[in-house]
């Protein structure tokens, strides 16, 4: 068994003579006198270090051997490293850095004393002076040249009898001799030689007279010099051509001046004597002085004022628009429509659409020109006649101010009557376009859109004079709430209400005063409340008046969209919370206005979405009990189809309500209900009992429950049957491309067959029977097409692809540690990741070392503080105990003395 580590250590110490038998006092004294102890002490330290290294082999590591053994001039010597020592040094450096950081903590600035020996009390003043002198000499030696032979202390250096000092003649380096140049030095001169030759050439050019007259060969010009000469020559030729052109122009002008005299001479007309030269007034323009000379001052002032007025009245120049051909106009309109349709489709899909897309890219008209002028500070210029845009006629529902509405002496009193008539005609034409734009031609021909607000309105003769009675006022205050609007329109006929609103908008146009904009915003909110209020009145105003007010709200909504939308949302919230299943005529009018004012094809809209949700809630949850409920449902179904005309989103409540209505109103009950729609039989039968010859249409106020005669009820039932059949036709056209078309419209086809059967056909009118036949044919055709277009779900039929095979690629020098990735970007990314990981680990390692040093140093400081505190506490306790003992002894002595004194 090998000896233990301790036995080996003792044996090594004994062999090296560090331990052994003790020496006598005499031997120790002799060794101290001879100096043997000092030598042994030095050798002892070296021996101990060797033994320590021998017994701790892990403190030494050597670098790896080279990968390939090669014979070179410099042989590879493995470097021996001491990681333990390096670790202790690093810890010491970190500890010193921590101490310095703690010393400079919460300290700003400071003065560093770099003087020699100031803080060293062991240095003598002579040593300090010597150290300073040495440092100064070292600094001077660094700044001086390494080959400087000049020295003030020594004498002048000479060579071959010539002085080597800088005061003598210019010295020449041996390597600058002409005979030592390279063979190709002329062809390839260096940069320093080029600069030196250039300087010499400049000096020789200036001091040419001082030369000996020897002709030297011309120097070869560089490319830069050649280019400079070419540029200078081209500029010179250009300047000469311009000077010649200017001279020709001067000669031509002189000839033009003398041309009139030549014409006079040819015609034989004598020339007038030249006018007297104008009096030169210092500080005045020569042309003005010539104009003043020979004219009367009063006449000159009048002429000046006249010209100034003419300049002020001249209209500003405006850029003319390029006349476009018919094809360009059609193309521009088509492009604009495509942009608007693309924007609407993005809104319908729920995508965000910014308003910046609508702004034109460049200056397309005089408005942009004015904006540009204002931007550069030129102002708006002087305008004599206000244009249409200045008067505020920008959309179809803006109005001009009538002459009777403006007081005399006001700012608008001098407006041009012709421009007023033209603008009124434009506004009327655009009003007609807005009215006709509510329904397309196809919609206007469909019977399902001819109900309610879009139904045939009775032609009412609106007053052509000043109101119905001819005494309608021309001035009104702008109502800012519904109560004020009722106060303003109190005593005014309902047919005059559109005229009153028009005049209020004209009197309080935003172009007239800045406060009018807020007033018109409040007016828009009041009008929304007023259409609901009018529809709920017992007088039942004509729907043409309500439609005109809706047009005014539509126009004001362009200017005040937020206020108008909030007002509509308030009405919709009131309807959905208080009377969701019993809407009033005012609620129906509000829903109609929403469909006319706001875009209903958007994926989500703050007004249109709550409106259609409320209508779907009524159609899905309402159990109709009378004909008014069915009329209200038909009206809401019509609005739903209008809302979904562009987006074509399926609303299941519409078809359920229509099919339920047809089954309830059918003359005979169907034996088996087709489909799975909810069927609700009312308490009292509402089936058609007799045939009606009257072709009655469904009206808006049929939605209000009232007492009717039997004949009126039968006519209303027939009208409801016709309207619901038309709604089925319109719904089939709208949702013809849906994948569930078969399941949705098969029940409707079966119901139409039931109505066309013998049981029901005898009690239906001839027009209804024709409608049923047409509808059944259309539904049959569409259902057949839907069945043919429908395909069951199946996998894609791909062509069978063979497994790709290729000859494997072999690497002769394959290295498993290397990544053979053909993608260069991925390789670079992997390298970056690996480097980042390595750097991150290194940073974490350094942070951990710093935190370890910080923790150990802080713990050491805490121990020192605690030790000092404990030492101080013990000292204070010892002092206190000593004082207490002393006082106790004094007390005992005093007590003993008193006892003795009593005795």
Which is more confidently placed, 368 or 63? Answer: 63
Contact 528, 553 (CB under 8 A): yes
pLDDT range class, residue 843, cuts 50, 70, 90: very high
Helices 585-597 and 561-578 sit at what angle, rounded to 10 degrees? 140
pTM of the model as a whole: 0.46
Measure the CA–CA gap between 72 and 74, rounded to whole angstroms.
5
Tens digits of residue pLDDT in 665-715: 888 888 888 888 888 888 888 888 888 777 788 888 888 888 888 888 888
Q: How confident is the model at residue 431 (pLDDT cuts 50, 70, 90)?
A: very low
Our CA angle for 50, 51, 54, nearest 5°, is 85
Q: What is the pLDDT of residues 794-807, one digit of tens each?
A: 777 778 888 888 77
Which SS3 state, helix, strand or coil, does residue 341 take? helix
> CA-based Rg of the chain, rounded to a whole angstrom?
56
The residues near 280 (Cβ < 8 Å, ≥ 6 apart) are: 286, 289
pLDDT value of residue 327: 79
Nearest Cα to 498, choosing from 530, 539, 535, 522? 530
Cβ atoms of 745 and 675 closer than 8 Å: no
Give Dmax over CA atoms of the chain in angstroms.
174
CA 505 to chain centroid, in Å, comes to 38
Q: Lowest-pLDDT range, 177-186, 241-250, 444-453?
A: 444-453
Q: Are 720 and 627 in contact (CB under 8 A)?
A: yes
Q: How do residues 5-59 score in pLDDT, each as one tens digit?
A: 888 888 888 888 788 777 788 887 887 777 777 777 777 888 888 888 777 777 7
pLDDT at 457: 41
Q: How many CB atoms lie within 10 A of CB 763?
A: 20
Asked if 668 contacts 761 with a C-beta cutoff of 8 angstroms, the reply is no
pLDDT of residue 78: 65
Minimum mean pLDDT range among 204-213, 510-519, 764-773: 204-213
User: What's the 3-state SS for 586-604?
Assistant: HHHHHHHHHHHHCCCCCCC
More confident residue, 293 or 376: 293
Which string of b and e fits 772-789 if b means at least 16 CB within 10 Å? beebbebbeebbeebeee
């Amino acid at each position: 068994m090998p000896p233990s580590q301790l036995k080996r250590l003792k044996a090594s110490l004994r062999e090296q003579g560090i331990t052994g038998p003790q020496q006598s006092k005499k031997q120790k004294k002799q060794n101290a006198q001879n100096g043997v102890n000092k030598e042994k002490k030095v050798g002892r330290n070296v021996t101990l270090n060797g033994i320590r290294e021998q017994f701790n082999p892990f403190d030494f590591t050597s670098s790896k051997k080279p990968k390939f053994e090669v014979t070179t001039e410099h042989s590879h010597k493995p470097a021996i490293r001491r990681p333990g020592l390096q670790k202790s040094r690093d810890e010491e450096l970190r500890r010193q850095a921590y101490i310095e950081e703690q010393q400079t903590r919460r300290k700003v600035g400071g003065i560093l004393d770099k003087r020699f020996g100031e803080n060293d009390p062991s240095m003598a003043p002579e040593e300090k002076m010597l150290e300073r002198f040495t440092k100064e000499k070292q600094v001077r030696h660094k700044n001086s040249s390494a080959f400087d032979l000049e020295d003030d202390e020594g004498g002048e250096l000479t060579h071959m009898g010539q002085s080597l000092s800088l005061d003598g003649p210019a010295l020449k380096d041996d390597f600058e001799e002409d005979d030592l140049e390279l063979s190709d030095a002329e062809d390839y001169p260096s940069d320093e030689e080029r600069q030196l030759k250039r300087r010499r050439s400049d000096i020789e050019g200036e001091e040419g007279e001082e030369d000996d007259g020897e002709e030297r060969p011309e120097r070869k010009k560089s490319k830069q010099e050649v280019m400079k000469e070419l540029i200078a020559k081209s500029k010179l030729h250009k300047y000469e051509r311009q000077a010649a052109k200017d001279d020709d122009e001067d000669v031509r002008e002189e000839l033009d001046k003398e041309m009139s005299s030549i014409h006079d001479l040819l015609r034989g007309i004598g020339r007038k004597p030249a006018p007297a030269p104008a009096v030169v007034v210092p500080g005045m323009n020569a042309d003005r002085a010539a104009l003043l000379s020979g004219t009367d001052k009063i006449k000159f002032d009048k002429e000046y004022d006249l010209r100034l007025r003419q300049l002020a009245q001249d209209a500003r120049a405006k850029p003319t628009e390029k006349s476009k051909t018919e094809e360009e106009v059609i193309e521009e309109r088509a492009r604009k429509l495509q942009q608007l349709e693309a924007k609407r489709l993005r809104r319908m899909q729920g995508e965000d659409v910014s308003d910046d897309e609508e702004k034109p890219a460049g200056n397309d008209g005089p408005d942009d020109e004015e904006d540009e002028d204002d931007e550069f500070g030129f102002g708006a210029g002087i305008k004599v006649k206000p244009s249409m845009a200045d008067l505020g006629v920008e959309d179809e529902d803006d109005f001009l101010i009538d002459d009777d509405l403006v007081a005399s002496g006001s700012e608008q009193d001098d407006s041009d009557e012709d421009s007023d008539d033209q603008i009124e005609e434009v506004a009327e034409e655009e009003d007609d376009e807005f009215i006709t734009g509510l329904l397309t031609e196809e919609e206007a021909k469909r019977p399902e859109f001819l109900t309610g607000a879009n139904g045939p309105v009775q032609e009412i003769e609106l007053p052509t004079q000043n109101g119905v009675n001819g005494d309608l006022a021309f001035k009104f205050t702008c109502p800012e709430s519904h109560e004020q609007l009722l106060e303003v329109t109190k005593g005014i006929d309902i047919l005059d209400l559109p005229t009153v609103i028009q005049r209020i908008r004209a009197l309080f146009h935003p172009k007239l005063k800045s406060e009018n904009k807020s007033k018109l915003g409040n007016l828009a909110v009041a009008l929304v409340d007023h259409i609901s209020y009018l529809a709920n009145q017992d007088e039942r105003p004509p729907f043409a008046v309500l439609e005109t007010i809706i047009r005014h709200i539509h126009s004001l909504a362009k200017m005040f969209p937020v206020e108008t939308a909030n007002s509509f949302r308030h009405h919709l919230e009131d309807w959905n919370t208080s009377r969701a299943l019993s809407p009033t005529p005012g609620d129906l009018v509000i829903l109609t206005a929403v469909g006319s004012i706001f875009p209903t094809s958007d994926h989500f809209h703050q007004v249109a979405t709550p409106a259609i949700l409320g209508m779907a809630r009524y159609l899905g949850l309402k159990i109709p009990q009378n004909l008014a409920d069915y009329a209200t449902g038909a009206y809401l179904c019509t609005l739903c189809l209008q809302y979904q005309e562009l987006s074509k989103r399926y609303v299941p409540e519409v078809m359920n309500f229509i099919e339920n209505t047809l089954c309830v109103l059918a003359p005979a009950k169907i034996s088996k209900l087709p489909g799975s729609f909810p069927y609700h039989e009312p308490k009292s039968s509402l089936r058609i009992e007799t045939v009606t010859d009257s072709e009655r249409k469904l009206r808006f106020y049929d939605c209000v429950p009232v007492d009717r005669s039997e004949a009126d009820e039968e006519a209303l039932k027939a009208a409801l049957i016709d309207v619901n059949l038309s709604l089925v036709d319109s719904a089939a056209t709208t949702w013809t491309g849906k994948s569930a078309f078969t399941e949705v419209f098969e029940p409707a086809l079966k119901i139409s067959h039931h109505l066309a059967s013998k049981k029901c056909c005898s009690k239906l009118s001839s027009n209804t029977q024709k409608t049923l036949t047409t509808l059944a044919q259309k539904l049959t055709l569409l259902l057949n097409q839907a069945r043919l277009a429908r395909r069951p779900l199946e996998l894609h039929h791909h062509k069978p692809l063979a497994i790709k095979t290729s000859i494997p690629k072999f690497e002769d020098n394959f290295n498993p540690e290397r990544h053979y990735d053909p993608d260069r970007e991925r390789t670079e990314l992997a390298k970056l990741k690996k480097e980042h990981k390595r750097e991150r680990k290194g940073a974490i390692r350094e942070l951990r070392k710093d935190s370890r040093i910080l923790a150990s140093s802080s713990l050491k400081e805490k121990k020192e503080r605690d030790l000092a505190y404990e030492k101080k506490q013990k000292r204070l306790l010892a002092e206190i105990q000593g004082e207490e003992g002393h006082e106790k002894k004094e007390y005992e002595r005093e007590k003993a003395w008193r006892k003795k004194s009593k005795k």
